[in-house]
Chain A
Amino acid sequence: MLIRLAFRNIWRNRRRTLITMFSMAFGLALAIFFISWGAGVYARLINQAVRLQAGHVTLEHPGYRDAPAVDLFVPGSSKIIEELSQWPEVERVKPIVLGQGMAKSGAGSLGVAVVGVLPSAEAASSPLVKNLSQGKYLADNDGPWCVVGKKLALKLNLGVGKKLVIATNDVGGNLVEELCRVKGIYDTGSDEIDTYLVQVPIGFARNLFRMPEDSVTQLGVILRKADFQKRVLKRLSGHFPAGRVAARAWQEVMPEVASYIRMDKSSNWIFQAILLFLVLFTIFNTMLMSVLERRREFAVLMALGTKPSQIASLIFFESAFLGALGCAAGIVLGGVVALVFNVVGIDLAWFVKEGISISGFALSTRIYSKVTPGILLVPSILVFAAILVVSVIPMRRAVKFSIADVLR
Chain B
Amino acid sequence: MDAIVTVSNVVKNYGQDHVVTAALSGVSLRLEPGDFAVMAGPSGSGKSTLLNIIGGLDRPTSGSVSIEGRELASLSDADLSRLRRDRIGFIFQGYNLIPVMTALENAEYVLMLQGAPAARRREKVLAVLAEVGLSGLENRYPRELSGGQQQRVAIARAIAAEPALILADEPTANVDSRTGDSLIALMRRLNEKGATFLFSTHDPAVMAKARRLIVLKDGLVESDSEK
Are B109 and A12 interface neighbours, CB within 8 A? no
Within 8 A of A (CB), among B117-157: 157
Assembled-state Cα–Cα distance A9/B110 (Å): 19
Partner of A1, one of B49, B96, B112: B112
Distance between Cα atoms of A308 and B78 in the complex (Å): 8
B48, A303: Cβ atoms under 8 Å?
no
B residues less than 8 Å from A1 (CB atoms): 105, 109, 112
Which residues of chain B have C-beta atoms less than 8 A from A408's C-beta?
Answer: 48, 52
Count class of interface residues, chain A = 20 to 34
Residues of B contacting A162 with CB < 8 Å?
none
Given contacts A296-B96, A404-B52, contact A303 B112 (CB under 8 A): no
- A305 lies within 8 A of B110 (CB): yes
- Could you say which residues of chain B place their CB within 8 Å of the CB of A303? 55, 57, 84, 90, 92
- A299 vs chain B, min Cβ distance (A): 8
Chain A residue with Cβ nearest B84:
A305
* Inter-subunit contact B96/A297 (CB<8 Å): yes
- Let me know if A171 is at the binding interface, CB within 8 A: no
Q: Is residue B86 within 8 Å, beta carbon to beta carbon, of the partner chain?
A: yes
Chain A interface mostly: helix
CB of A38 to closest CB in B, whole Å: 43
CB distance from A230 to the nearest CB of B (A): 52
Does any Cβ of B come within 8 Å of A289's Cβ?
no
A5-B100, A9-B100, A300-B96 known; A305+B58 contact, CB < 8 A: no
Residues of A8-27 whose CB lies within 8 A of B = 8-9, 11-12
A307 contacts B78, CB within 8 Å?
yes
Q: How many residues of B contact A (CB 8 A)?
A: 28
CB neighbours of B84 from chain A (8 A): 303-305
Q: What does the 1/0 interface line of B45-67 toward A look like (CB < 8 Å)? A: 00011001001011000000000
Q: Does A86 contact B (CB under 8 A)?
A: no
B99 is an interface residue with CB less than 8 A from chain A: yes
Q: Which residues of B contact A307 (CB under 8 A)?
A: 78, 81
Distance A11 CA – B113 CA, assembled complex (angstroms) = 23
Assembled-state Cα–Cα distance A161/B82 (Å): 96
Q: How far is the CB of A321 from chain B (nearest CB, A)?
A: 13
B29 within 8 A of A: no
Considering the complex, give the chain B residue whose CB is closest to the CB of A408. Answer: B48
Q: Which residue of A lies closest to B101 (CB)?
A: A5
Contacts of A310 in B (CB 8 A): 113
CA distance A302 to B85 in the complex (A): 9
Does A390 sit at the interface, judged by CB under 8 A?
Answer: no
Residue of B nearest to A1 (CB): B112
Note all chain B residues with C-beta closer than 8 A to A5. Answer: 98, 100-101
Is the pair A306, B81 in contact by a Cβ cutoff of 8 Å?
A: yes
| B203 interface hit (Cβ, 8 Å) | no
List chain A positions with a Cβ less than 8 A from chain B. 1, 5, 8-9, 11-12, 296-297, 300-308, 310, 402-404, 407-408
Given pairs A304-B157, A404-B58, 8 additional interface contacts (CB within 8 A): A5-B98, A300-B90, A303-B55, A305-B82, A305-B113, A306-B85, A402-B58, A407-B92
CB<8 Å pairs between A and B, sample of 12: A1-B112, A5-B101, A8-B101, A296-B96, A300-B96, A303-B57, A303-B84, A305-B82, A305-B113, A307-B81, A404-B57, A407-B92
